[in-house]
Amino acid sequence: MQESLQILNDIFGYSSFRDRQGDIIQSVVDGNDNLVIMPTGGGKSLCYQIPALVRDGLAIVVSPLIALMNDQVAALKQLDIAADALHSNIDEETKRRIHSDIAEGKLKMLYISPEGLLAGRFLEYLKNNNVSLFAIDEAHCVSVWGNDFRPEYVKLSRLKDTFPDIPIVALTATADHATQSDIITQLKLNEPKQFLSSFERTNIKTVVNSGLKRIQQISNFLLSHQGEAGIVYCLSRKSTEKVANDLRAQGYKARAYHARLSADEREEVQHEFQADEIQIVCATIAFGMGIDKPNIRWVIHYNMPKNIESYYQEIGRGGRDGKPAESLLFHSWGDYVSLKRFIDEGEATEQFKIVQSAKLERMWEFATAASCRTNLVLSYFGEYRNTKCDHCDNCLNPPELFDGTKYVQMALSAVIRSQESVSLNLLIDVLRGSNRTEVRDLGLDKIKTFGIGRDVPFLDWKHYVTQMINQGLVSIDFTDRSKLKSTPLSNPILKGESTIMLSKFIPNDKKPKVKVPKLSIDVGNADQDLLAALKAWRLGLAKSQKVPAYVIMNNKALDQISSVLPSNSSELLVVDGVGRVKLMKYGDAILKIVKEYG
Ligand code: ADP
């Protein structure tokens, strides 16, 4: 433990372990198998990087993303750690050099894709080369229950067969309960120690609004986020381009990012965003996995994501520096229906469709919940508690509840009298006495409940029926064109035997502004001139070394330097992220800048 702490202080420049990091590192060092579930930004990398340095031999890190591997390797090389990556973009000569480094025992960490690791006789080759541990990053990819199943990950089960005595540490930020057990089974982990960190991100304010006039809502939102970096996630390429265009027209530096862009263009957008040259990226889900930008201050979901794992991972890209960030999710029934159709009409197996549909259902419950949203997410990941979080909209501005039994009875009665043949919108048309042709053609204008809820506006009805669906008072039959059906809970309500509380519908523009929670995080009193000078210095170095700027030093470290104004090496060493190696490399230059501008 002493040695791990020493490495943390000395090489990585951090004073103490976060949460369970110390225990996890110890367990890997001791040679156990481990399952680590930790939210994005929690500090998973150190959980294998430090054991890799403590244990004798070569640590193999399996990662699915080339960009991520390159960044990690660049960051490790900054610390003079012998790390390298083997993937399809590495040229033959470098590959040969890496192989000879492995053979000579010079390498401490090798990042590799699952395909690369399992190709040819590479595993056999490693058998003769003293492997210290295997780290499986994004381990949820091994499970069909996870949200990003990758068939090549399944073959990683061979690792335990080939190396029964080498510890495996499987890490992920997104695994619900079923996925967690499946990772253990698939990777054949041997009596693994399990570390489930809290998934709560207290610095992220969570707000959900209905998806009406989304662009206008985004414009309003951005008024209080001027100059702050953010991501707008959209479901389609078309929406990314539309939103980026609209925002550019309003004077924002925004670009679209999606799978149809060429690799060069994608790289360019990532680079510009990383370097703060553009403020906003409007992206499909393909964006973000390979970037480690600590100062993303907000994340908007233009459309509802397909499951809570994706949603939570995406909002988790905000506020990685620990400072306040805000997330805003738009949801609409239309999004839900398209996602559902997407699953139903896909090529997947029936079993996979059932899982995906259940996940979508939970996402919808989250979006329309009237109670603490954080608790809903936490329980999804197997963490149960019932205290308020105080950083979601429902806790900060609890929705007002009223006795809605009368409305529920009206809606249920309309469902039954229409022979359970209407979908959500049609039901509301019936209740509101619409004279749409479809209503008349189906003879729905003849039933007794036609027009019974005329006084209630359309969107209010939608809000009420959605809550009825969530409370199980009606169900949606997806096998029958999303028609609404009664459930065993319907009858007692119609008979007047139970009371149903509903939340009132409040249009987005009438919602009280959610106060940003006061956080106990030091947002610093950084000297802005000094900070700018440090950033300029860092950019120069990053360009000459061809690495992302944060690899040289992250924003948090620069902020701290600009607040603390260190005047000598020992004061500089106190800064998070400055250890012995970075002090040696950059200490003089930094102290000189502090002297000049501080
Ligand atoms: P994850 O892989 O879980 O998303 P990372 O390993 O990239 O997270 O860590 C996120 C950030 O937190 C990085 O900038 C990392 O250097 C920093 N970090 C990790 N552990 C510590 C620690 N013990 N003290 C301070 N900062 C830390």
Kindly write down the DSSP assignment for every residue of 464-517, as one continuous string: HHHHHHHTTSEEEEGGGTTEEEE-TTHHHHHTT----EEEPP--GGGSPPPPPP
Q: Which atom of ligand 1 is nearest to the CA of 18?
A: 23
* Residue 55 banded pLDDT, cuts 50, 70, 90: very high
pLDDT of 519: 35
Q: Assess whether the C-beta atom of 13 lies below 6 angstroms from ligand 1.
A: no
Same structural domain for residues 231 and 286?
Answer: yes
Element (H, E) at 66: helix 66-78
126/209 same-domain check? no
Ligand 1, atom 13: closest residue by C-alpha? 43
Q: For residues 408 and 431, what is the distance between their CA atoms, to the nearest angstrom?
A: 11
Among 464, 479, 510, the domain boundary falls at 510
Non-local (6+) Cβ contacts of 398 within 8 A are none
Is 523 part of any domain?
no
Domain assignment present for 382? no
Give the pLDDT confidence score for residue 231 in this predicted structure: 97
Question: Could you report the per-residue pLDDT of 379-431, keeping only the tens digit for each?
Answer: 777 777 778 899 999 999 988 889 999 999 999 999 999 999 999 999 999 99
Is the per-residue pLDDT at 41 higher than 50?
yes
Task: Judge whether residue 89 has pLDDT over 90.
Answer: no
Please give the number of the atom of ligand 1 that sits closest to the Cα of 44: 3
State the residue range of the domain holding 7: 2-196
Q: Does the CB atom of residue 14 touch ligand 1 within 6 A?
A: yes
Where among 142, 170, 196 does a domain terminate?
A: 196
Residue 432 near ligand 1, beta carbon < 6 Å: no
- Is the shortest distance between the CB of 233 and ligand 1 below 6 Å? no
Any domain includes 387: no
| Mean pLDDT of the 66-81 span | 92
pLDDT in tens, 522-572: 435 678 888 889 999 999 998 888 888 888 998 888 988 988 889 888 889
Interval between CA 415 and ligand 1 midpoint (Å): 53
Residue 76: predicted pLDDT: 97
CA angle (464 as vertex; 459, 465 as ends), nearest 5: 100
Same domain, 132 and 62: yes
Determine the residue type at 296. I
Between CA 374 and CA 180 the distance in angstroms is 20
Q: Which amino acid belongs to residue 420?
A: E
> Are 249 and 321 members of one domain?
yes
Name the residue among 466, 461, 426, 456 with its Cα closest to residue 442.
Answer: 426
Over 60: is that where the pLDDT of 60 sits?
yes
Question: Is the predicted pLDDT of residue 520 greater than 50, yes or no?
Answer: no
Q: Is residue 3 pLDDT above 80, yes or no?
A: yes
pLDDT for the residue 523: 39
Q: What is the mean pLDDT of residues 20-30?
A: 97
At 140, which CATH number? 3.40.50.300
Structure tokens at 228: 């702050």
43 ligand 1 Cβ < 6 A: yes
To the nearest 10°, report the CA torsion of 122, 128, 131, 137.
10
Atom 20 of ligand 1, residue of closest alpha carbon: 43
Domain boundary among 196, 229, 246: 196
Type and span of the H or E element at 231: strand 229-233
CB of 42 closer than 6 angstroms to any ligand 1 atom: yes
Asked whether residue 36 is domain-assigned, the answer is: yes
Residue 159 CA, distance from chain mean position: 28
187, 270: one domain: no
pLDDT of 387 reads 81
Q: Is the CB of 554 under 6 A from ligand 1?
A: yes
Residues 443-463: pLDDT tens digits?
A: 999 999 999 999 999 989 998
Q: Do 227 and 349 have their domain in common?
A: yes
User: Atom of ligand 1 at shortest distance to CA of 556?
Assistant: 14
Same domain? 357 vs 445: no
The enclosing domain of 549 has a CATH number of 1.10.150.80
Are 190 and 234 found together in one domain?
Answer: no
Burial 233-260 (b: 16+ CB within 10 A, else e): bbbebebbbbbbebbbeeebebbbbbee
Nearest CA to ligand 1 atom 12: 43
- Indicate if 402 and 501 belong to the same structural domain: yes
pLDDT of residue 290: 60
Residue 49 covered by a domain: yes
pLDDT at 383: 75
CB 328 within 8 A of CB 300: yes
Per-residue pLDDT, averaged over 273-283, amounts to 93
Residue type, 568: N
The rounded distance, in Å, linking the Cα atoms of 218 and 301 is 10
38 in ligand 1 pocket by Cβ < 6 Å?
Answer: yes
- Structural domains counted in the chain: 4
Contact (CB, 8 A) for 422 and 430: yes
pLDDT in tens, 91-114: 999 999 999 999 999 999 999 999
Task: Specify the DSSP element, H or E, that contains 336.
Answer: helix 333-345
**Structural domain contains residue 358:** yes
Supply the CATH number for residue 448's domain: 1.10.10.10
Q: Rounded mean pLDDT of the chain?
A: 90
Give 1's pLDDT tier (boundaries 50, 70, 90).
Answer: confident
Residue 65 has pLDDT above 60, yes or no: yes
Which residue has its alpha carbon closest to ligand 1 atom 25? 14
The more confidently predicted of residues 199 and 433 is 433
CB of 174 closer than 6 angstroms to any ligand 1 atom: no
Asked if residue 17 has its Cβ within 6 Å of ligand 1, the reply is yes
Question: Residue 521: is its pLDDT beyond 80?
Answer: no
Q: What is the pLDDT of residue 451?
A: 96
Distance from the CA of 554 to the center of ligand 1, in angstroms?
11
Same domain, 484 and 347: no
Tell me what pLDDT residue 513 has. 62
Q: Is residue 385 part of a domain?
A: no
pTM for the model stands at: 0.69
415 & 497 share domain: yes
Q: Give the pLDDT confidence of 475-516 residue by residue, as tens digits.
A: 877 667 778 999 888 999 999 998 898 988 877 677 666 544
Residue 451 within any structural domain of the chain: yes
* Ligand 1 neighbour 44 (Cβ under 6 A): yes
CA of 557 to the centre of ligand 1 (A): 12
SS3 207: strand
Task: Flag whether pLDDT at 470 surpasses 80.
Answer: no
- Do residue 209 and residue 351 come from a single domain? yes
Please indicate whether residue 21, judged by its CB atom, sits closer than 6 Å to ligand 1: yes
pLDDT tens digits, one per residue of 311-347: 998 998 999 888 899 999 999 888 998 999 999 999 8
